[in-house]
Amino acid sequence: MSDEALSQWSAQRRTSRGGQPKYSDLAITMCLTVRVVYELPLRQTQVLMRSIAALMGVEITVPDFSTLSRRSKGLALPPVRRRTACWRSVHLVVDSTGLKVFGEGEWLENKHKIKVKRKRWRKLHLGLDLVSGEIVCSDLTTDDVGDPTALSDLLGQIDGPVGKFIADGAYDGAATRDLLTTRLGEIAEVIIPPPKIAVASSQSALNPTVRDRHIAEIETKGRMAWQKSTGYNQRSRVETQMGRWKTVIGPKLKARNLDNQKTEAKIGVRVLNRMTELGHPEFSRVA
**Smallest Cα–Cα separation from 99: which of 251, 245, 246, 239?**
251
**Smallest Cα–Cα separation from 247: which of 34, 15, 32, 39?**
39
pLDDT at residue 147 is higher than 90:
yes
Single-letter amino acid code for the residue at 247: T
Query: Rounded to an integer, what distance in angstroms lies between the CA atom of residue 64 and that of residue 171?
Result: 43
Mean pLDDT, to the nearest integer, of 137-163?
93
* Model pTM score: 0.85
Answer yes or no: are the C-beta atoms of 95 and 151 closer than 8 Å.
Answer: no
pLDDT of residue 44: 95
DSSP label of 53: H
pLDDT (tens digit, 9 = 90+) per residue, 170-195? 999 999 999 999 999 888 999 999 99
pLDDT at residue 5 is higher than 80:
no
Mean pLDDT, to the nearest integer, of 134-162?
93
**Smallest Cα–Cα separation from 232: which of 154, 172, 280, 186?**
172
Q: How many CA atoms lie within 13 A of 287 on its CB side?
A: 0
C-beta atoms surrounding 18 within 10 Å: 5
pLDDT (tens digit, 9 = 90+) per residue, 226-242? 999 999 999 999 999 99
Mean pLDDT, to the nearest integer, of 3-10?
62
Q: How confident is the model at residue 14 (pLDDT cuts 50, 70, 90)?
A: low
Share of the chain above pLDDT 70, in %: 83
pLDDT of residue 110: 58
pLDDT of residue 206: 85
Q: How confident is the model at residue 76 (pLDDT cuts 50, 70, 90)?
A: confident
Averaged pLDDT of the chain: 86
pLDDT at residue 286 is higher than 70:
yes
Answer yes or no: are the C-beta atoms of 80 and 270 closer than 8 Å.
Answer: yes
Listed in sequence order, the DSSP H helices in 222-257 are: 223-230, 236-244
**Bridge partners for 95 per DSSP:** 126
